[in-house]
Amino acid sequence: MNFITFTETNLRAFTFSVFKKMGCSDEHADLATDVLIRSDLRGIDSHGVARLSGYVRLWEKKRINATPDIKIVHETPTTATVDGDAGLGLVVAPFAMKVAIEKAEKYGSGWVSVKNSNHFGIAGYHALMAVEKDMIGISMTNASPLVAPTYANERLLGTNPMCYAFPAGKYPPVIVDMATAAAANGKLEIAQRANKSIPDGWVQDKSGENSTDPNELKNGGSLLPLGSDKDHGSHKGYGLSATVDILSAVLSGANYGPWVPPFVAFLEPSANPVGEGLGHFLGAMRVDGFRPAADFKNHLDNWVERFKSAKTIDPDKKVIIPGEPEHEFEQERKISGIPIIDVVVKDLNELAVKLGIEELK
C-alpha cells in the first residue's frame, strides 16, 4: 500500500474543480470541498476526497442536484424541517445546522430534521459549526442499508453515524463522532484497497456467519451493529442506529430503513420509496442556557485533565479524549500534507480526465 502526499491547497483546488464541473455554484463547491478536505485533514480518509467519484457518479445518474433550492418547509421557533432538493448533503447539512444555530441564538436551542438529501460527509464537521458559537453541536444521518439488526440476516439500517461536540477552554473540543455499526463501510473500502482482512465481528456473510473478508458486502453479506453480537451488546448499537434513523428520516419525511437510497450509483433506489432522499438531524444548544459558558469550559478542561491522568493498564498507553486523534491529525497534516493512497489517486486522476480538469500531481 503506497501513499502520495498532497498539500491541502492542491487537494482543495482539485476538489473545487470537480464540484464546479458538476455545475455547483462557487459557494456550494467551496463548502462541499471544505467538508471533504476537513475529513482528510482529520485523518478520516474514508470520507474525504476518496468519496469524490461516488458523488460524481450519483450526479451523472441525476440522483444529485448540483443546483438545489434548499428550503425550510416546516418550522416552529425552535424546530424546523429542511428539504434539501436532492442536493449534496455536504451543502444541505451545513444549511440546516445554520438554521439550528440561528434558532439557538434566539431561543437557547435549535433542532432541524432534513429530508431529500444525500451523503453529508463526516458528522463532526456539522457539529463543530455549533462549537464555534459556544454551543453544543449534535449531528447525525441515516445511510445506505448495509447493517443487519441484532438476530437479523437482512440489511435494514445504515452505518448511521452520530456526533456530539462540546466546546472546551484551553483544550480542543470534545467530539464523540462514531458510526453505530461495528465499523463504517469506508473502513471496509480501505481494507479492500489494501487487500487486507478485517477484524472479526465487523461483518457477517450471506448465511449470517462471521467473516473477516472485506468484500463480504459485495457477496450478499451485511455489516453488524456496534457490539457485533447480542453477547457483546449489539442490541445497544442497533438501538442507537434506530434512534438515528427515526430522528433523521421518520421525523423529517426522508426514506428510512431499507428504503434509504444507496450511495453507490450502480444500485437503483427503491421503486417504492417511503420518503424523499435520505435524512439528517442537526441540533445546537447554547451552553449559557445552562450555566455561564466560561464555567462550563473550565470544568470541561478539568474533565479532560482528569481523564488524561487516569491510571492505565499499559503505562505506554494513555486514555484518549474523544476527538483528540482527529485534532492531532489535523495539526500535523496542515503542515506535512495529506497522504492519499495510490489507488485513490489513480481513481481521482481518471475522474479528472473524464471531466477535463487538471490531474493531481
Q: Where in the chain is the domain with CATH 1.10.1530.10?
A: 1-67+337-360
- Give pLDDT tens digits along the chain (361 positions): 789 999 999 999 999 999 999 999 999 999 999 999 999 999 999 899 999 999 999 999 999 999 999 999 999 999 999 999 999 999 999 999 999 999 999 999 999 999 999 999 999 999 999 999 999 999 999 999 999 999 999 999 999 999 999 999 999 999 999 999 998 877 888 788 788 999 999 999 999 999 999 999 989 999 999 999 999 999 999 999 999 999 999 999 999 999 999 998 988 999 999 999 999 999 999 999 999 999 999 999 999 999 999 999 999 999 999 999 999 999 999 999 999 999 999 999 999 999 999 999 8
As a CATH number, domain 68-179+227-309 is 3.30.1370.60
Q: Where in the chain is the domain with CATH 3.30.1370.60?
A: 68-179+227-309
Q: Please state, in angstroms and rounded to a whole number, the distance separating the CA atoms of residues 272 and 316.
A: 54
Q: Where in the chain is the domain with CATH 3.30.60.50?
A: 183-223
Does the structural domain 183-223 have CATH classification 1.10.3720.10? no
Does the structural domain 1-67+337-360 have CATH classification 1.10.1530.10? yes
